[in-house]
Amino acid sequence: MTETLKIVVPRGFSGRMADDTAFEGLIRDVALYYATDPFDGIDDPQKYGICWNDDRFWMTFDCQCSDETCWFCGFDCGCEKGKCRYFIDGVEVDGETSWQRNYEFLGKLPHELYEHDTPEYEAYSHQWKARVKERDRRWVTLHPAITHTCVWQNILENRVEGADWRPRQQPPNFCLKKTGLKVWWYKFIGRDMEFNRAPTLDDVKAIEELEKMAEFRKRLENEE
Ligand SMILES: [Zn+2]
Ligand SMILES: [Zn+2]
């Protein structure tokens, strides 16, 4: 018997892809055009993006250091942020109570009680998943509204109070200032991309404008 090993890599792992959307391709082009040698310490600008901020666009790579002092990972714009509100069956409780009752309701994880691939594991696992579903129905977290009045208000998105935590309150990885389009990705351009709204033809035109200007800039540099 021959065994085949299938290696699954996340989307965007090797940079530019054959099935890139036109828009992903344009973002990669911008990163490449505006990258300065040696790419601001980034291996591959088409894969990760670059750090850039002027009055036309903002781009940053998705830092994963998790350091609270990192301007990206520990980002805090300084605006007043309300607190999350927790509800169980429509009754408001504090965060600690919500977590504690959630833990009691779900019980131990299947692998904490039973060996994998045993009938007991399968049966318990089945019940556990049903409880998770029930929990998701009964437990609700409301994320607070945020209205930015800070210097970042053109980069960040306001949020209304609701069960949806988005839009992310971290700077986007790409923001077209002319049109207000914002894009977030996870580690690589193209991976788990989120947009503040669907891109329009105006966004495409604005990006193409950036590319033309970058080409012009490079030409000027070469003539010097
Ligand atoms: Zn960081
Ligand atoms: Zn703010």
Q: Which residues surround ligand 2, an ion (CB under 5 A)?
A: 77, 79, 148, 150
* Residue with the two structure tokens 């949020």: 159
Rounded to an integer, the average pLDDT of 179-205 is: 92
Give the pLDDT score at 45: 86
Task: Say which DSSP state 144 is in.
Answer: P
Rounded to an integer, the average pLDDT of 64-71 is: 85
Q: How far is the CA of 78 from the centre of ligand 2 (A)?
A: 6
What distance in Å separates the CA atoms of residue 175 and residue 168, rounded to the nearest whole number?
13
Rounded to an integer, the average pLDDT of 25-41 is: 78
Rounded to an integer, the average pLDDT of 114-132 is: 94
- Which CB contacts under 8 angstroms, 24+ apart, belong to 133-142? 135/102, 135/105, 135/106, 138/88, 138/89, 139/86, 139/87, 139/88, 139/98, 139/102, 140/86, 140/87, 140/88, 140/90, 141/84, 141/85, 141/86, 141/87, 141/98, 142/84, 142/85, 142/86, 142/87
Q: How far is the CA of 115 from the centre of ligand 1 (A)?
A: 38
| Strands of the sheet with 52-53, listed across from one edge | 52-53, 57-59, 174-176, 181-184, 194-195
Q: How far is the CA of 88 from the centre of ligand 1 (A)?
A: 35
- Within 10 A of 10 (CB to CB), how many other CB atoms are there? 12
Q: How far is the CA of 63 from the centre of ligand 1 (A)?
A: 4
Lowest mean pLDDT among 8-12, 119-123, 148-152, 163-167: 8-12
Give the pLDDT score at 216: 78
Q: How far is the CA of 154 from the centre of ligand 2 (A)?
A: 9
Q: Band of the pLDDT at 42, cuts 50, 70, 90?
A: low
Q: How far is the CA of 113 from the centre of ligand 1 (A)?
A: 37
Tell me which ligand sits closest to the C-alpha of residue 72: 1
Q: How far is the CA of 177 from the centre of ligand 1 (A)?
A: 23
Tell me which ligand sits closest to the C-alpha of residue 51: 1
Q: How far is CA 26 from the centre of its chain?
A: 19
Q: How far is the CA of 147 from the centre of ligand 1 (A)?
A: 24
- Within 10 A of 31 (CB to CB), how many other CB atoms are there? 24
Q: How far is the CA of 95 from the centre of ligand 2 (A)?
A: 24
Lowest mean pLDDT among 15-29, 118-132, 157-171, 197-211: 15-29
Strands (E), the chain: 52-53, 57-59, 85-88, 91-93, 139-142, 174-176, 181-184, 194-195
Rounded to an integer, the average pLDDT of 103-112 is: 94
Give the pLDDT score at 9: 64
pTM of the model: 0.74
Structure tokens at 167: 């839009």
